[in-house]
Amino acid sequence: MEDIRRLQAEFTDERDWNQFHQPRNLLLALVGEVGEVSELFQWRGEVAEGLPGWTEREREQLAHELSDVLIYLLELAEKCHVDLPQAVLRKMALNRLKYPASKVHGSAKKYTEYQD
């Protein structure tokens, strides 16, 4: 994650693009790229793991769009002064507490639907 963040910082510095990369713009760019990922899935119905039937070109396009999402996400976090690698670990620990395996095994219900 840190390597990707650093490479994108170099990319924007080299082009004097930090002037355009404020948090709101990065968020809009991120959402736009999520839209491009969605476009690849739209009208296909359910898609199984591994994307059976997808061409190599479609798979490569998906890899590109997912990469764009990650690049903008990491830069957005940086410009918001969020240490994303650390934050993700903290959040995953919280998720484990919120969804104990013994309690939720095999169920996709949201935590608010579980009564003690």
Ligand X SMILES: Nc1ccn([C@H]2C[C@H](O)[C@@H](COP(=O)(O)OP(=O)(O)OP(=O)(O)O)O2)c(=O)n1
Spatial neighbors of 54 by CB under 8 A, at least 6 apart, are: 62
Residues 6+ apart with CB under 8 A from 89: none
Sequence letter at residue 76? L
Taking residues 60 to 99 in sequence order and writing x for each that binds ligand X by CB under 6 A, - otherwise, the string is --------x--x----------------------------
Site string for ligand X, 15-54 (x = CB under 6 A): --x--x---------------x------------------
Residue among 64 and 99 whose Cβ is closer to ligand X = 64
